[in-house]
Copies of this chain bind each other. A is one copy, B any other.
Amino acid sequence: MHEIVGKQEEVEPEEVKQAKDVYIQWLVKGPNYHMRRFTFKPGAKMNPHSHPWEHEIYVLRGKATVGIGDNKYHVEEGYYLYIPPNVPHWYRNDGDVDFIFICVIPNVES
């Protein structure tokens, strides 16, 4: 696999099927893990769900509540999160601006 250098604005956002007003951009599909960029429009949410792979997240913009298991966290720019495999989690954009984050997942079939 060769090097990749690109600009996020040039990566087409795809609508996330399980939610409304949530978009994903696939930035890098690497040999071991993938880097994606999510955008939640104001008021957008993703309901509790789980899967057998972890997330590593870095928040770029906006304010949101993130549920992980029984816990709730208020996050904004500069927060990082590790969501373990098989733990139910959810997101809700609580702010007036887009909630945007980088989310890395292992290279597994989803």
What is the count of identical protomers in the complex? 2
> Which of B4, B66, B69, B87 is the one whose CB lies under 8 Å from A80?
B4
Beyond A28-B80, A56-B30, whether A35 also contacts B104 by CB under 8 A is yes
Q: Does A24 contact B (CB under 8 A)?
A: no
Q: Which residues of A contact B (CB under 8 A)?
A: 1-9, 27-28, 30-33, 35, 37, 54, 56, 58, 60, 66, 68-69, 71, 73, 75, 78-84, 87, 102, 104, 106
Beyond A58-B27, A58-B58, whether A81 also contacts B32 by CB under 8 A is no
Residues of B near A58 (CB, < 8 A) are 8, 27, 35, 37, 58, 102
Residues of B near A30 (CB, < 8 A) are 54, 56, 82
